[in-house]
Amino acid sequence: MRFKLLVLDVDGTILNSKRELSKRTVATLVKIQQLGVRVALASGRPTHALMPIAEALKLNEYKGYIISHNGALCTEAESGNVLFERRIDPQMVPHIEKIAQRTGLVLSYYNAGEVISTDITNPHVQDEAAMNGMTLRQDDMISTNMDQWPCELMLVSDDEELLKGVDDYLQRHLSGVMDTIHSNPYYLEIVGYQVGKSYAMSVLVQKMGISMSEVLAIGDGTADVGMIQQAGVGVAMGNATQGVKQCADFTTLTNDQDGAAVAIERAIMEEVRKTEIPLDALNAQSQGTLMGNLGIQYTYATPERVEATMPVDQRTRQPFGILAGGASLALAETLAGLGSMIACQPDEFVVGMQVSGNHVSSAMEGDSVRGVATPVHIGRSSHLWNVEIFTSTGKLVSSVRVLNSVLKKRG
């Protein structure tokens, strides 16, 4: 498979204009993770606000990453371990605070589950807190009362020209100490030197031991330009500015048209080769699932046949020491599920509908069984699989039929 890492902006990219994840986006991102691609969310939002999105996309289950504060902090979604962190030089905070006081700008920053601001009545500050699910706290002396140095500071105003002037001043006088990001007309974000989504992405690439050519990045804003240009393939959303689109390899549909899912289907899922199904990754990702708890391991997968093994032990046996029929059915459904996933088109997903089995002989504790799934019918709306389960000596234990329903993804 060409791509090993998918880096995604959040607002304006995977979230629609209602700030929601569509069903199609969720289904597509779960499926590509099942195929072995790691996913990283890259956003200006704080980590606290990205965790619910990461959980909805199952990044914690598939060892994904969270790049927050526009690249100032990178963590593992599963463990919360910090992989990269670059906070603002504490000596600079009083200087930024004085600029805010002198120009009448509102100064804010994130701390755990709070947005701390010099004006919590400001509608943009209130919107930021609501969007991120955070509480508000008024603080007129931010630099004095900080208990830890922030990943970013935000200057807020409806006066876009004033913010641009402050941005120009900071870039002239604090170059090499801090960087600025003008993410929208009323926010100027201040971060540590050389902080950016592209830099955090390069840290992940190095950690994973892959090349930048194996990265797909999708975004819509100026803060995404670096990662779009640096990735092996960079994609601009249909709702991106013309400048961002010019930096991308191609432009997809808008965030209200599931553009990110469409781009992933085009760039990744249509390129999956049947002989390149990552069985090691699929087996590793099964830990903590029913498949992992039963000890099921995929051993072979093509469009014509899928195989897996399962031990007969305390997890899968009856009290009498023989393989439980329910475990055999679970093995059959697991095999047919992968087979249908391979057979599906990029814009389709599969739901199990029916399983029925005939148990013809027994397998004893201490043995292992091998399941072999072959397609009986691969149709437009349904897949029917025959699964035969054998002992290690080749004796037939069960013959199972599994019916899966094929559905089109919807927004």
Q: Which residues are catalytic?
A: 333
Handedness of CA 71, 203, 20, 285 (dihedral sign): negative
Query: Cα–Cα distance between 116 and 344 in angstroms, integer?
Result: 48
> Which residue is associated with the tokens 């553009």?
259
Query: Cα–Cα distance between 33 and 15 in angstroms, integer?
Result: 18
Beta bridge partners of 357: 400
Find the length of the chain: 411
- Contact (Cβ atoms closer than 8 angstroms) between residue 66 and residue 41: yes
CB within 8 A of 14, min separation 6: which ones?
A: 8, 21, 25, 29, 41, 53, 255, 260
Token pair of 66, please? 């969270």
Residue closest to 216 by CA, chosen among 250, 167, 180, 185: 250
Residue closest to 199 by CA, chosen among 83, 77, 49, 46: 83
- Contact (Cβ atoms closer than 8 angstroms) between residue 202 and residue 5: no
Query: Cα–Cα distance between 30 and 26 in angstroms, integer?
Result: 6
In three-state secondary structure terms, 276 is helix
Query: Cα–Cα distance between 274 and 333 in angstroms, integer?
Result: 20
In three-state secondary structure terms, 398 is strand
Residue closest to 388 by CA, chosen among 373, 403, 375: 373
